Amino acid sequence: MNETQRAHADLAFMKALVEEGGRSQMTGGALFLTAGLLYGLQCLVHWTQVVGITRFSDSFMLAFVVGISLTFVVVLGVVIWRDRKTAQRAVGTRALNAAFGGAGVANLVLCAAFGLVASRERSMTIWLLYPVTIAVVQGFAWYVAFMMRKRPWLALVSGGWFATALGLGLAIGNDAGYLLLLAVALVLLMAIPGAAMMRLAKTSG
């Protein structure tokens, strides 16, 4: 490949890197919006119990938590089914999907690891460190998105997740503060960015 061809190939790659990939943004945005609202609601309900606003039975809370996760799994399945034939055209879109997909896999592995250790050691503190690590992973994924898209709001989301990780670490031992901070973070840093991604996908489509 001569220098001219190499230059054209590099330009084509860079162009693809910054393409929006509207359909993919719609899918990712829908999942972020759903997860942020559902799990934010879950944390908020737990918070109301801790501060004494509500009093639910253990059986109700178990059904509620399971229902939240099942609802998200159903939404995830519907989204994947709808987009099963959609081709991802942009290199940048595939790279971002890889970053967020990797973050999702890391979340599952961390959940299993922290859950096993917390159960073995009978330590709630160990389990409470799990959301702290998730916040760091999310901050990293959104930082990758910012470096590729160069949009300031992506940097704000990334910084927000890193700040949340620090805040959650400091809040361990204060159940009410911990749950409220996590609930707010899920809405502000997951649900709202998800809605923004969906809006961008519509305008670019």
Parse the chain into domains and list their residue ranges: 21-84+91-204
Burial of 10 (0-12, 13-18, 19+ CB in 10 A): exposed
Does position 92 have pLDDT exceeding 60, yes or no?
Answer: no
Is 0.85 topped by the overall pTM?
A: no
Note the pLDDT of residue 11.
44
pLDDT at 154 over 60: yes
pLDDT-based confidence at residue 14 (cuts at 50, 70, 90): very low
Tell me the mean pLDDT in the region 18-34.
69
pLDDT, residue 110, reads: 76
